[in-house]
Amino acid sequence: MAFLLGCFFWGTAAQAGLGFLSGDPLDTGRGVPGQPAKPWLGKRAPLPRLPGRIPWFAVQAERIWTLPALTSFALSHNPQTAAAWEGLLARAAAVGVAESVWLPTLTLGSTATRRQAVSTAGFRVPARNSAFPDLTLSYTLWDFGLRRARYDVAEAQEWVAGFTQNQTLQSVVFSVTQAYYQLMGSQALLEADARTVAENRKALEAAEVLHRAGQATIGDLYQARAALAQAESAYAGQKQAVLASQGTLASTLGLAPGSAIHIVPLTPGSHPPAGLRDAARRLMRAAEKENPALQEARAQVAVARASVRAVREEGLPTLGISGSYGYQFQGGFQPGDTWTLGLTLTVPLFTGFSNHYQVRQAEATARQDEATMNSTRNTTLAAVWQDYHSFQGDLAAYPGASSSLANAGKALEVVLAQYRVGQATIQDVLQAETALAQSRYSLISNLVSSYVALAQLGQAVGMPVGAAHP
């Protein structure tokens, strides 16, 4: 008794916050820093371990990868696809949970007791042991369609998860495609910078020859050296850009950023992708049927509408049947069995307006999802329109960029030959080299942009994974 009274007074004092007790009796702040400027070092409990990196074997590192092969590898190893797939499996299991309510439930329970009583006169009644196993069966006969509505909600949520997975697959495909062409472009720009360095070195050699012959000034020599140094600086910077692009591509594959990936190079004879036969309006109609983000928004509307039905029907009566059978064992008595069978009618009379406001909330959510669906449709169609014309613009610009590169190369040859015989200045040579470098950059950028724009258009339309054309 004294122990119980002590616990009572101690708990009362702790709740009252008396001064002789600590402000943190359970020491919950033991991991919190003592000052705001100190970092939090975490609790003692360990965090889950990070998963191991995907193995990247030497034979894979030496292989020349094409875009389809890298895309297939990414779809199998990128953690985003795994997460989306597991989410779909979870939603599929939720459909099974919703469907299981049409089946009866059967439970087995048992209680075991030992009873000892002592009379006030000091007599002790013999201890009595008893056991009562019980088997109960219950089933809902009628619920005004509540089970059907909840099943529809679960099924529509599975649709949402399915379209989310499709959207994730397309997102991974586009990420790989974009990183692939960016790496290809970075490598091509590195090769272009190497050519620019070689051309600037030839110009410097020509300036040195003319300077020794007294036909060029020391200023020409300095300008040629400055141009070469600038070209070498651009080449060194582009090397780092290639490494950064390799890291981006490796990340989309689920690999460590430092993984070496060899791809097919972009050659001077490379051409942009073939033009599209379908017009923008036909592609927009295809997007309304195929774009997974838009289909996900439509499925979300189906979820909201089914949720409205489910909430409404939760406020209606339900009728169920239940039965049980038990067998009782009790010390000193003969065993006996018991059974029950009955109907249960549940009629919600008043819930404090809870169901009323739940219905209003579900209806507002349904209208919000419908507005989101319309907004997603507008965004999708606008993306298709813009990506289509961006792709068409890149195709239209390619002939001019190709012609500019060819003419800039011939112009540099002519100007350099004229400089060697004293008919051109070093400024003319440097300007011709700059124009050639810019033409190379423009053509490479045009090729990369055209392929990326085609990939963006395919993603906006909702091109199925594995298709080669939107």
Q: Domain segments of the chain: what residues? A: 59-102+132-461
Give dist(CA 426, CA 433) in Å, integer. 11
What is the 3-class SS of 392-436, one letter each residue?
Answer: HHHHHHHHHHHHHHHHHHHHHHHHHHHHHCCCCCHHHHHHHHHHH
Which DSSP helix (H) or strand (E) runs through 133? strand 128-142
The per-residue pLDDT for 188 is 94
What is this structure's pTM?
0.83
Please report, in tens digits, the pLDDT of each residue of the chain (470 residues total).
555 555 555 555 555 544 445 577 888 777 788 888 988 877 666 778 888 878 887 778 788 999 999 999 999 999 999 999 999 999 999 999 999 999 999 999 888 888 777 666 666 667 778 888 889 999 999 888 899 999 999 999 999 999 999 999 999 999 999 999 999 999 999 999 999 999 999 999 999 998 888 888 899 889 999 999 999 999 999 999 999 999 999 999 999 888 889 999 987 678 888 888 778 999 999 999 999 999 999 999 999 999 999 999 988 899 999 989 888 777 666 777 888 899 989 999 888 899 999 999 999 999 999 999 999 999 999 999 999 999 999 999 999 999 999 999 999 999 999 988 888 899 999 999 999 999 999 999 999 999 999 999 999 998 776 666 66
Q: Is 84 exposed, middle or buried (0-12, 13-18, 19+ CB in 10 A)?
A: buried
Distance CA 198, CA 262 (A): 25
209-241 residues labelled b (16+ CB within 10 A) or e (exposed): ebbeeeebeeebbebbeebbeebbebbeebeeb
Which of 347, 344, 352 has the alpha carbon at shortest distance from 323?
A: 344
What pLDDT does 467 receive? 65
User: How far apart are alpha carbons 135 and 67 in whole angstroms?
Assistant: 62
- What is the per-residue pLDDT for 225? 93
pLDDT of residue 19: 43
Q: What CATH number does domain 59-102+132-461 carry, 1.20.1600.10, 1.10.1270.20, 4.10.80.40, 1.20.140.10?
A: 1.20.1600.10
- Give the burial string for 292-306 (b: 16+ CB within 10 Å, else e): bbbbbbbbbbbbbbb
Residue 172's pLDDT is: 95
The total of other beta-carbon atoms located within 10 Å of residue 398's CB is 18
- CA atoms within a 13 Å half-sphere pointing along the CA-CB vector of 33: 8
Contact residues for 115 (Cβ-Cβ < 8 A; gap 6+): 127, 128, 129, 130
> What does the block give as tokens for 245?
């692009």
pLDDT at 18: 47
